[in-house]
Copies of this chain bind each other. A is one copy, B any other.
């Protein structure tokens, strides 16, 4: 290593990374947030209110960010979800009702291009705040349903983000090759109390229902990671 290169490397070691983390408040992005925090990054967390099934996940997100003393912003993009849900809504400026019915919920979960939209906004936020990384918690378990959770999408998105801005922002997606169990195993090492810190249930009840798809997936991952 040349002397100037050594100096740069030393500076990089001393300077904490500044990272924007797309943070839903679910298990995956909570684990990512803890990982960044543990690594000493200066982290800015951003959540999106896109008219999701209930606001419980966002409440957990706010609580976790406060606990770690991480700056947290929630941005309302529910008008965008309205646009992307096709033909049902026809007025110019659309507001989506925050429904509590599962049908409404399930429809919201398939907003096309959702990851790209959230990452484009979070990427702009990274540029605006002088951050050099954008962190997202997409992972292997999502691949089958969502093409925008694949490594190929992450690579192409990063190229677009770099060519669209003068300030280089790298995309950090460490979980793309991981299973949910891998993620939870890391989270337990980092000291996350998933019961206290995260919410996954599709229903908006006081307690998790224990029966819906995400409740089952969550229980399986927790059991496998502990085993």
Contact = CB atoms under 8 A, between A and B. Distances in A.
Interface of A: 46, 49, 62, 72-77, 79-80, 82-87, 92-94, 111-117, 119-121, 123-125, 127-129, 147-148, 150, 152-153, 156-157, 159-167
Given A76-B79, A116-B160, A124 B111 contact: yes
A15 B106 CA distance: 33
A153 B120 CA distance: 13
A128 B117 CA distance: 14
Contacts of A77: 77, 79-80
A51 B84 CA distance: 21
B86 A74 contact: no
Given A77-B80, A80-B124, A113-B121, 6 more contacts: A83-B124, A84-B124, A111-B124, A115-B164, A117-B120, A150-B163
- What are the 3 A-B residue pairs with the smallest beta carbon separation, nearest first? A113-B124, A148-B164, A112-B127
Given A80-B75, A84-B128, A161 B116 contact: yes
A202 to B, nearest CB: 22
A164 B153 contact: yes
A45 to B, nearest CB: 11
A188 to B, nearest CB: 29
B153 A160 contact: yes
A120 B115 CA distance: 9
Given A79-B76, A83-B121, A120-B117, A156 B150 contact: no
B92 A83 contact: no
Contact of A86 (B80, B121, B129): B129
A121 B82 CA distance: 11
A3 B137 CA distance: 47
A73 B85 contact: no
A202 B77 CA distance: 27
A153 B208 CA distance: 44
B74 A92 contact: yes
Contacts of A157: 160, 164
